[in-house]
Amino acid sequence: MQIGLVGMPGSGKTTLFNLLTGNEKPTGPGGADEVYTGSAVVPDQRIDYLAQLYRPRKTTCARIEFKDIPGAKMEHSRARASRLLDEVRSATALVQVVRAFGKTAAMPDEPDPFSDLINYGSELLLADMDTLEKKLARFEDNACKKGDTSDQIALYRKILSALENEQPFGSISLSPAEEDLLSDQVFLTGKPLFAVVNIDEAQLQNSIYPRKEKVESWAAVKNLPLITVCAQVEMEISRLEPQEQIEFMKDYDLTESGLGRLARMVYDSLDLISFFTVGEDEVRAWTVRKGATAPQAASKIHSDISRGFIRAEVFHYDDLYRLGSGQKVKEAGQFRLEGKDYIVQDGDIISFRFNI
């Protein structure tokens, strides 16, 4: 899973990217105008406990890939703007970073997070409309030359009409046949979208920022998951020693890092869960969608395990934490053998039996 950080120039995308990934990429107007990529560990106290209990040679946490996509600027060429849109299209999901922090030397204008939130959404709509209009023109031209493509043309017109009425592609009702016709299409407004309001230190302490009520109301109406992060303060905290980090987090009344809140928002909204494999060699977290069967979870480890799946040995993290050891979990009758129809639950600890 790769998440694209998007938004208006000067919103603090690169500062947030550095906070999430531990990078030190240049920020502000003097920053390099390029796409940055990096990854972040998904914070999970459960894997910390499992690593303490099993003391493996290797501990592997779940990770999220991020890419920081520069906002298009007036001086960019059409080709440059197109390449940036392609970067947006290739992301699994989008996080719009919205500036709420006050005036700075680099950003002397007053912030307007509500307008920025709406305007970027409009840009995505316009980009989808532009792409669709070009495809529709090609299909109509080909229909004259090569024959009937009426189903495709009718579908494109239906989608274009919805987009023109400010209806994102993701909210358009499609039949299975229509979905098949669009199997190779990517719509920006069909991607999962999240918002991070980037605030400053004073706003963090006061829990207020410009037009906050309108931003939150808009997000609620649009079912847009939204959190606030003071990227600059959290970036400074992240550079401190662990004990100092805890103390400063308390001073700012922060119970969870920006990365932790963003990861939780993404996992909850995309219906993602974690299961674990444990042993002396490695303790590892794996990410699957809710509803995944045991063979589907096994395929995350290796396709051979899924193909040769026999059974899954399963117990739950909560039982292990409560009882203190795998042996006590077995003695308490909480250790199970599950078949191919078993639906994996968040926090399951699984060992797969397979034969190839």
DSSP SS3 for 2:
strand
Check residue 146 and give its pLDDT.
58
Check residue 19 and give its pLDDT.
94
Whole-prediction pTM: 0.88
Q: What is the CATH number of the domain that holds 160?
A: 1.10.150.300
Instruction: Note whether 38 and 103 are same-domain residues.
Output: yes
Range of the domain at 331: 291-354
Instruction: Note whether 218 and 77 are same-domain residues.
Output: yes
Enter the DSSP assignment of 141. Answer: H
How far is Cα of residue 154 from the mean position of the Cα atoms in its chain? 33
Instruction: Note whether 106 and 31 are same-domain residues.
Output: yes
Instruction: Note whether 199 and 175 are same-domain residues.
Output: no
Q: What is the CATH number of the domain that holds 81?
A: 3.40.50.300
Check residue 272 and give its pLDDT.
97
Write the burial class of residue 182 (CB in 10 Å: 0-12 exposed, 13-18 middle, 19+ buried): middle
* Residue 313, strand partner residues: 337, 351
What is d(CA 33, CA 31) in angstroms, rounded to the nearest whole number? 6
Check residue 267 and give its pLDDT.
96
Pair 8, 14: CB distance under 8 Å: no
Domain-located, residue 52: yes
Burial string for 127-162 (b: 16+ CB within 10 Å, else e) reads bbeebbeeebeebeeeeeeeeebeebbebbeebbeb
Q: What is the pLDDT along the chain (356 residues), one digit of tens a residue?
A: 899 999 988 899 999 999 999 999 988 765 557 899 999 999 999 999 999 999 999 999 999 999 999 876 545 567 777 888 889 999 999 999 999 999 987 788 999 999 999 999 999 999 999 999 998 888 877 766 555 567 888 899 999 999 999 999 999 999 999 999 888 889 999 999 999 999 999 999 999 999 999 999 999 999 999 999 999 999 999 999 989 999 999 999 999 999 999 999 999 999 999 999 999 999 999 999 999 999 999 999 999 999 999 999 999 999 999 999 999 999 999 999 999 999 999 999 999 999 98
Domain-located, residue 274: no
For the chain, the domain total comes to: 3
Domain end among 151, 172, 190: 190
Domain-located, residue 343: yes
Domain end among 269, 303, 318: 269
Domain-located, residue 280: no
